[in-house]
Structure 1
């Protein structure tokens, strides 16, 4: 490939190969070829001039490797490919600037070089679209913005005011382009938040052997293994194994569905329990998930309610604009004054600025490591008066530590209790299981596979056969209520005396309680400050839900300054509690991170998942935090409330400014041309102001301030 280096500064390299070097689709293929190199982070291509923009790690030797790759590319190496979501987003922005530049350039060239008769003819030609749309609304008995725009353009032309008509259409076209850009950007952001990001899958060959392969290499008819907690990457049929699949991302139903041989599974759903082998039906764009994403792109369901109200309000104002125009003419008998009123349109600015404010807030959330799946979720978050926290992994660091091991009989000593528990728990990636395994490793308690295959009961515990005897390990509810393990009075007293301040994992062998493993999971350092600030921002009710015993839950709530908490809560209880709060008229935020939080996340008015949440929690949640900073909940509250404040401020400013134009027009102090120019210019200014950031630098850096407070308190 022949090319010229246009820019070279550290990690950013731009080369240009010329206008006909590759097509748009071949540019995507070229980008994917370069992205196969681990030292290249991003590649953007432009078919218009053959530009290739490469971001890499900046090492000199890697830059030479890039040149070697480009030098070795021939026309036979080019292939067509699909763009990445990052490329799509950049193209949307580039196209917007390209179109805006073209519109401004054509207008300036026309005013400078074209004689007036030709300019007037072009104005008449451009007016056809607005007049036609206005007539369409009129014949369909719709009194809307299109009718108002058509009437204003027609009125100006009938008065012989070609320049005002041209200026109005130019500014309207700028506004339309800006609105189109924001809508496309919003769709791109939403699509990116829902899309699967799975790089590798486990392929099962004819001999039953498993090997990890790139997801893009999977074909129809292949068989892949999906394990507990994994996101299903394809649409397909279960051919081996069984399990419970949560299809909330597909159906909205939080209860998992039992999948056995012959049953269909879909990409984007999550394995709650079990392991299955899936024969691939379809992948990538052919999956049901991607078809749903395509539907979402054209859906109104995820719009903020405020945005819908603004659009309805905009159209409802139009009849009053016509009425004011008619009254002005009847009273003054002055067509110029009436036209000045007609040129002023409250609805245009309202209809533009509200979605811009919503989309801007969603973009700002993304910039601050928060992914919001729709504008309505920001609005619900701003209006919420109640927040419900799952404790483990949300208010705590999900890094529990074994603090005590208590034998409950003379059959097994302390070290044997810990060794057995670690042997059983090592098969699961749960944080408590990991703490038990790590503690055994620290103490040098090695163990062999002394048990049969284990069965995991979600949010309860594990059942297996250990040394020929039935072994169960898990929560108090699981052992004593579900498994009917007997608890003597002596044992009850011992538990009350030695384990009340901790979370406890119970171990029973052959139907008898044999040991307790006491675990502490310290709360996040910033959690107390976050809760205090959320209260100051209008969250009236802060509730903690936990599976811990009463004593452990009470101690945790006290340290966090939480007055409302529920202990020994089961997954189904969490969902029920959220529904009860909603029935009381509360608007509820649910914050969680685990598989067992998914029903409650689905039930809340708006749900938030943490960075290290399970796949299923991230899929169900309306908002996902992409950092591990709990203070992001405060930032999100400020952002969402600021979004609504900005919308309301826009309403007031639009009303005052356009109302002033109406008064000045009726008094004859401004001409229709001036009225039109000021109105359309103000619409663009209000639109631009709607894209301004809500959060200040202080808001964004508050997590640093919290850390400083913590250090001061500690000292």
Structure 2
């Protein structure tokens, strides 16, 4: 690709390739290609003039130049890159805002007064039409007041004031469109299955094809380490599939022919052929993205309240206008009253404050799907935690080995590791790692290992049958006797751990205690939440009551529920709400989805399943639970700012209204002060809620 360097500074270079070098569809292809290099920091591509701007790490200018010079438009294929969508939305917003400002001030500076006035009259007609339409519908809304204010200015030939009012209204509409587009793009990027190509299974050989060519009923092969990109059914092979993205559980599940699989799950070990049932555009995750895209219910309640308040003030504005005209017989004084529009400041400052808070949260690695969730978070008095994967890391470790019968602890662990080393699930890894940490060589001669799905493992070791797994598998399925004395010893020593049972030669040999320890910061997070005003903190878990009690005590949680099912979690959250509580639910998997949906506001951590992330209203992209308290502080400060804005707007504009009614202010002065105060309150609403220097110091 012929590229001319038009800007060349350290770590920043801009190329101009010409207007026909590539199409708009290939902008994101170039972006993705550049960003696939470790030296690339940022890239922008613009098809209009063939411009490519690259920011690179120091010392990598030659690589950037070489890449662009070797680009060929014919070699670039359109790709889906949601991160590029987000950047494009940001650029478009900045461009549109700049155009509004330029149109406003360039027209005033360049155009003759008659032409400028004519353009303002033309632009004002659409606002007047909206107001008239609302009146015909029997509604006295802010649109009516906007239309009346602009009409009054035009009638008095006060074109400058009319232009200012319309400029502010245009900025408000632009902000609303930007927020909706930005939110959807961010959500789509976090939820989408990022697979551009798949292996189409054939009789003689597999063929690599683009995802766009895949059809329903095609068969694709997915191997170890790959993400399953579609919903479908296994037709050949078997594999351990990590379904944490669907279930939230850390254990991989063996699946073979006939089993259903879902997009977003991962093949940990093995290879399977999958018959496509639903394409990526029609999977469960994609449907949720579509629902989010179509949702109009993401506004904060306080934002909706602001709009209703603005509408409710409209009749009083007209009443004040009429009374002033009636008692003073002075049109100028009456118009001065009409120029004081509470709605502009209220309708602009509230969404700006919410948008700024959401952006501030995003800068701190917290994704908030809508303003109303920050409001609910600020008002909540209860928080409910799922234990596994939320308060813990879902990374099991071997805590203890309990030897029973004729085997020592070392021998028991050696046999267990020998059996478990063949399987990649997390409990097996914990046992194998536990043996390695204790310098136990677990090489043993045994027959082929058989895995019984969801139960355990069996084999033949030194001529004896050896089995390892759950109590149900060992005792009930395999008929191994566990005496009351043995069970009592296991219960006493296992504490808060889960137990894996080992039997050799039809006798219980030992038990292995597996723990899933709390996150290091979990105790501090609980403490901070209490200090932040969360009075009711609850832990829900499927563990035994004893294990749950020990974990709760470690973390300083006084209320917990053990051995709960997904429907129990949902029921408990509903009960809290019925008793007047406002509930935050923090969960990590599809098993938490009912409870997440039932809560007033739901949260997922970065290492939660994809399904938990798309179900949750707020996602913490880091792995620090103390962020939950930080979100509380941010949300409370947002509510305080909005309420203080209300008070200022009502007080200041009421003073203006009275000043206009008593003839202390002319319409032009009234409009100027009103618009100046509106811009000032909006500027204040855009400032950070948190002290960045203090936050850095605390970190």
Q: TM-score, normalised by structure 2?
A: 0.85
Alignment of 1:213-228 (within 5 A): 216=211, 219-220=214-215, 222-224=218-220
The answer to whether the 8 A contact 1:270-1:616 is kept is no
The answer to whether the 8 A contact 2:264-2:610 is kept is no
Alpha-carbon spacing, 1:229–1:321, altered in 2? closer, same or farther (3 Å)? farther
Alignment of 1:447-486 (within 5 A): 450=447, 452-457=449-454, 462-467=455-460, 471=467, 473-474=469-470
Alignment of 1:158-557 (within 5 A): 158-198=155-195, 203=199, 205-206=201-202, 216=211, 219-220=214-215, 222-224=218-220, 232-234=228-230, 236=232, 239=235, 267=263, 277-280=273-276, 283=279, 289-290=285-286, 293-410=289-406, 412-423=407-418, 425-426=420-421, 431-442=426-437, 443-446=440-443, 450=447, 452-457=449-454, 462-467=455-460, 471=467, 473-474=469-470, 487-500=482-495, 502-507=497-502, 513-557=508-552
**Separation in 2 of the partners of 1:56 and 1:19?**
24
Alpha-carbon spacing, 1:138–1:496, altered in 2? closer, same or farther (3 Å)? closer
Match among 114, 121, 125 for residue 122 of structure 2: 125
**Separation in 1 of the partners of 2:137 and 2:563?**
61
- Which segment drifts farther, 312-321 or 260-269? 260-269
Residue 438 of structure 1 deviates from its aligned partner by 0.7
Alpha-carbon spacing, 1:352–1:200, altered in 2? closer, same or farther (3 Å)? same
**Separation in 2 of the partners of 1:636 and 1:282?**
37
- CA deviation vs aligned residue, 1:94-147 (integer Å, no higher than 9, x gap): 223323333333333332333322222222222221122222212222222221
**Separation in 1 of the partners of 2:593 and 2:488?**
35
**Separation in 1 of the partners of 2:270 and 2:583?**
32
**Separation in 1 of the partners of 2:425 and 2:532?**
34
**Separation in 2 of the partners of 1:230 and 1:303?**
38
**Separation in 1 of the partners of 2:441 and 2:258?**
46
Q: Does 1:582 align with 2:577?
A: yes
The answer to whether the 8 A contact 2:450-2:459 is kept is no
| SS of aligned partner of 1:52 | strand
Match among 637, 641, 666 for residue 636 of structure 2: 641
Residue 700 of structure 1 deviates from its aligned partner by 3.5
| SS of aligned partner of 1:438 | helix
Indicate the residue corresponding to 1:68 in structure 2. Answer: 66
**Separation in 2 of the partners of 1:288 and 1:557?**
35
| SS of aligned partner of 2:58 | coil
Indicate the residue corresponding to 1:658 in structure 2. Answer: 653
The answer to whether the 8 A contact 2:606-2:623 is kept is yes
Q: TM-score, normalised by structure 1?
A: 0.83
**Separation in 2 of the partners of 1:95 and 1:290?**
25
The answer to whether the 8 A contact 2:168-2:344 is kept is no
- Which segment drifts farther, 140-149 or 562-571? 562-571
**Separation in 2 of the partners of 1:308 and 1:243?**
50
| SS of aligned partner of 1:454 | strand
| SS of aligned partner of 2:495 | coil
Alpha-carbon spacing, 1:678–1:445, altered in 2? closer, same or farther (3 Å)? same
The answer to whether the 8 A contact 1:249-1:620 is kept is no
The answer to whether the 8 A contact 2:497-2:547 is kept is yes
Which runs of 5 or more structure 2 residues have no equivalent in the other structure?
Answer: 247-254
**Separation in 2 of the partners of 1:434 and 1:30?**
41
Residue 181 of structure 1 deviates from its aligned partner by 2.9
Match among 83, 89, 94 for residue 92 of structure 1: 89
Alpha-carbon spacing, 1:314–1:279, altered in 2? closer, same or farther (3 Å)? farther
- CA deviation vs aligned residue, 1:53-83 (integer Å, no higher than 9, x gap): 22334333xx223322322335645x56356
Alpha-carbon spacing, 1:630–1:151, altered in 2? closer, same or farther (3 Å)? same
RMSD: 4.1
**Separation in 2 of the partners of 1:32 and 1:444?**
47
Indicate the residue corresponding to 1:613 in structure 2. Answer: 608
